[in-house]
Amino acid sequence: MQILHVVHSETEYPFNNGTFYERRGDTVDTIVIRNAGHLPEPRRYSAVIVYGGAMSAYDDQGNPWIATELRFLESCMRAGTPILGICLGSQLLARLLGANVYRSPSPEFGFKRMSLTSAGLSDPVLGPLGRMSPDRGFLAIEWHSDAWDLPRGAELLASSSAWANQAFRYGSSVLALQFHLEFTQAHLDKASREDPANLPADREGENPAAFAVPDGRLVEIACSMEKLLGSFLPGG
């Protein structure tokens, strides 16, 4: 299976899903879309995963490549290629679908518990993450200062205690997640120390020092990422 990763800046740390792809024998192409001169044909890929970034989905002036990315996501939707949008990826999908994306009144940072809606519990991808838990939820990492309204025609799948809109499905091929399941401890540690002044202003958020050491909760989150990908990817 051939998968496309869309990222918004170069990073020296991989996500926690690399060994999952290796075990399955998948091929992964990665493009830094702000530097991409030619975007690939969506039908080449079994799935497209769009990751996060420090920029805002509505900041076209500072990021002129956003218009190009929106056109690419629209072409993926027309082709029926499954799209998974994470954090900024989810915000771009919400914008493409006509919803408002804006500075959140409830920014979130750190380990947070997601609660599945009734639609989320029956969702083929997110449902398995919560059905085995007594509270019908799962653990994730939040790192966002922006948020989206639910697009018209989309189903809300998950919420947190601070912010209701955490995941949506649009049709059969679009899944958007405001939260993260893909971060490693090394990534969290380095990224949170690089620019502490611009971390989300979450009064109940994590102290960045918490990411300096291994944490068993990240093992749980990595397992959830593999379970999610196993359900999301065609033939999983």
Q: How confident is the model at residue 228 (pLDDT cuts 50, 70, 90)?
A: very high
pLDDT tens, residue by residue, 49-76 = 999 999 999 999 999 999 999 999 999 9
Q: What residues have CB less than 8 Å from 158, skipping those under 6 apart?
A: 114, 115, 116, 117, 120, 126, 166, 167, 177, 179
CA distances from 205 to 112, 177, 194, 199, 221 (A): 9, 19, 17, 10, 17
Q: What's the predicted TM-score (pTM) here?
A: 0.96
CA distances from 70 to 58, 62, 97, 133 (A): 11, 15, 10, 36
Mean pLDDT for all residues in the chain: 94
Q: How confident is the model at residue 22 (pLDDT cuts 50, 70, 90)?
A: very high
CA–CA gap between residue 15 and residue 222 (Å, rounded): 9
Nearest to 196 by CA among 182, 210, 184, 178: 210
pLDDT in the model for residue 141: 98
Q: How confident is the model at residue 133 (pLDDT cuts 50, 70, 90)?
A: confident
Burial, 221: exposed, middle or buried (Cβ in 10 Å; 0-12, 13-18, 19+)?
A: buried
pLDDT in the model for residue 236: 65
More confident residue, 13 or 129: 129
CATH number at residue 228: 3.40.50.880
Mean pLDDT value of segment 29-33: 94
Domain count, the chain: 1
Strand ranges, E, within 70-200: 83-86, 101-116, 137-148, 155-159, 167-170, 174-177
pLDDT in the model for residue 37: 75
pLDDT in the model for residue 131: 80
Burial, 87: exposed, middle or buried (Cβ in 10 Å; 0-12, 13-18, 19+)?
A: buried
Q: What residues have CB less than 8 Å from 212, skipping those under 6 apart?
A: 189
pLDDT in the model for residue 35: 87
Q: Which domain holds residue 55?
A: 2-232
In the chain, DSSP finds a helix count (H) and a strand count (E) of 7, 9
Q: What residues have CB less than 8 Å from 52, skipping those under 6 apart?
A: 8, 86, 87, 88, 89, 143, 180
Whether residue 39 contacts residue 79, with contact meaning beta carbons closer than 8 Å, is answered with no
Q: What is the enclosing helix (H) or strand (E) of 21? A: helix 18-24
CA–CA gap between residue 84 and residue 228 (Å, rounded): 10
- Residue whose tokens read 């499954």: 82
pLDDT tens, residue by residue, 161-197 = 999 999 999 999 999 999 999 999 999 999 999 888 8
Query: Nearest 5°: phi and psi at 40?
Result: -75, 165
Mean pLDDT value of segment 106-129: 97
Structure tokens of 28?
A: 């992964």
Structure tokens of 198?
A: 């611009």
Q: What is the C-alpha R_g of the chain?
A: 17
Q: How confident is the model at residue 235 (pLDDT cuts 50, 70, 90)?
A: confident
Question: Percent of the chain having pLDDT more than 90?
Answer: 89
